[in-house]
Amino acid sequence: MEKSPQISIFIRYYHPTLEQKRKIVSLCPIENMIWIDEATGDLVAKQEDNTVFHCTDIPDYCIDNDLLGFIEISHKKREYKFAIEGTGARTPESILAAGINA
């Protein structure tokens, strides 16, 4: 079972250098999840419901470089994704319904 990630970037409170932004982008374990917008120069995070990751490097880098709270990676509570694999005797829908009704 997986939780969906929520990435928050607080641009108005912090003003990292271009070098710091590039470092943050390079620390992200998923390519193209966080990038620098060419028009504004701001960091942008893609909000994908099907992408789940755990990353402590980005918040740790922010803490070490006086950017505490610039980027927060959390997971949406009460929202889960999971796969149902049966033996073939029942459909995944009936397995899910039986689990909910139990």
Give the number of other Cβ atoms within 10 Å of residue 88's Cβ.
6
Please report where in the chains the tokens 């969906």 appear, as a residue: 4
User: Domain ranges in the chain?
Assistant: 2-101
pLDDT band at 20 (very low <50, low <70, confident <90, very high): very high
Of the two residues 11 and 23, the one the predictor is more confident about is 23
Per-residue pLDDT tens over the stretch 32-83: 788 888 888 888 887 665 555 667 788 888 889 888 888 877 766 655 566 7
Rounded CA separation 8/10 (Å): 6
Could you tell me the pTM of the whole model?
A: 0.58
